[in-house]
């Protein structure tokens, strides 16, 4: 099995615990390359390395708030809202809407750019909140069909859905990814400021449109803003870690020390932890590899 196949299988396995994950964590765990970001694309899974600036230093900071995404409906609720948004747009555009639950598939069917997709959302998903009855009427489906075929088991109780906000986040985030890549490729020696700005915009969208942040994450981001560091939550959200981009080693050291005094010092749980394991600098490294140990003449030789 190659790495792409293993990543795809691993992503599918996550669904057995009840979460409708997209597979990004599994993909980067296998396909990461040293010194690079990876543009992850699906159907089929493929990864394109994006060289990062040599002077960029990343910091990982744990918010010390945890969320078990399999234990609540929050994670799947966002997935369902995105799927409903795509399907409703497809129906409005007189397409085979049941088969178009992903924005990428809808975009391809329409032949639209991301900018055109954003305009489509703004013009067609006009309600801030859609009720269950709104969607039954707009999609022309029965309650049973809606519940059994358009929701997940742990979202069948949901009565309201924020389609516009979720769709705007996904599409605008895709635009930011494109801008990040373009910045890295066209101005590799002087791109950190622009990358920081994109990361800040990303977190704000996750906080206000996708609504998956946490007050501890937002506190860390606020501190980073004061220091000119680009920071966003990473992972599923509702807790966990942020990833921050610093311009050089000195800026990263200043950021870490500031977090120790202005964030971790006020968190009781942090007092019993090794701060170095909660907040640290890092850099992109290679993903999972097979490590073979060969025994020859009673001597162990290893090859990666």
Q: Annotated active-site positions, please? A: 25
Q: Nearest CA to 48 among 66, 33, 62?
A: 33
- How far from the centroid of its chain's Cα atoms is residue 30's Cα? 17
Positive or negative: CA dihedral 147, 151, 152, 157: negative
DSSP 130: E
Strand pairing category for 160-161 and 36-41: unpaired
What backbone phi and psi angles, to 5 degrees, belong to 154?
Answer: -90, 10
Sequence-separated (6 or more) residues with CB below 8 Å from residue 163: 81, 84, 85, 88, 125, 127, 130
| Total length of the chain | 304
């Amino acid at each position: 099995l190659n790495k792409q196949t293993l990543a795809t299988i691993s992503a599918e396995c996550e669904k057995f615990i009840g979460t409708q994950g997209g597979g990004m964590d599994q993909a980067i765990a296998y396909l990461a390359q040293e010194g690079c970001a990876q543009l992850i694309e699906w159907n089929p899974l493929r990864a394109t390395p994006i060289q990062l600036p040599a002077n960029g230093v990343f910091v990982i900071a744990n918010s010390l708030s945890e969320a078990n995404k399999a234990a609540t409906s929050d994670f799947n609720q966002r997935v369902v809202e995105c799927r409903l948004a795509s399907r409703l747009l497809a129906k409005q555009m007189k397409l085979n809407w049941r088969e178009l639950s992903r924005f990428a598939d809808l975009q391809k069917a329409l032949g639209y750019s991301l900018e055109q997709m954003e305009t489509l959302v703004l013009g067609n998903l006009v309600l801030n909140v859609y009720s269950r009855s709104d969607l039954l009427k707009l999609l022309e489906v029965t309650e049973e069909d809606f519940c059994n075929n358009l929701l997940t088991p742990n979202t069948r109780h949901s009565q309201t859905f924020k389609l516009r906000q979720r769709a705007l986040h996904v599409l605008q985030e895709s635009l930011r990814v494109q801008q990040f890549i373009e910045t890295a490729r066209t101005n590799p020696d002087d791109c950190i400021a622009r990358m920081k700005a994109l990361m800040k915009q990303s977190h704000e969208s996750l906080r206000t449109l996708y609504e998956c942040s946490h007050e501890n994450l937002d506190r860390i981001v606020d501190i980073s803003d004061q220091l000119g560091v680009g920071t966003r939550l990473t992972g599923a959200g509702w807790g966990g870690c942020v990833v921050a981009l610093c311009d050089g080693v000195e800026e990263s050291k200043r950021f870490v020390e500031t977090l120790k005094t202005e964030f971790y010092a006020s968190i009781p749980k942090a007092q019993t932890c090794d701060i170095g394991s909660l907040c640290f600098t890092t850099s992109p490294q290679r993903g999972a590899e097979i490590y073979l140990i060969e025994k020859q003449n009673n001597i162990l030789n290893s090859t990666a």
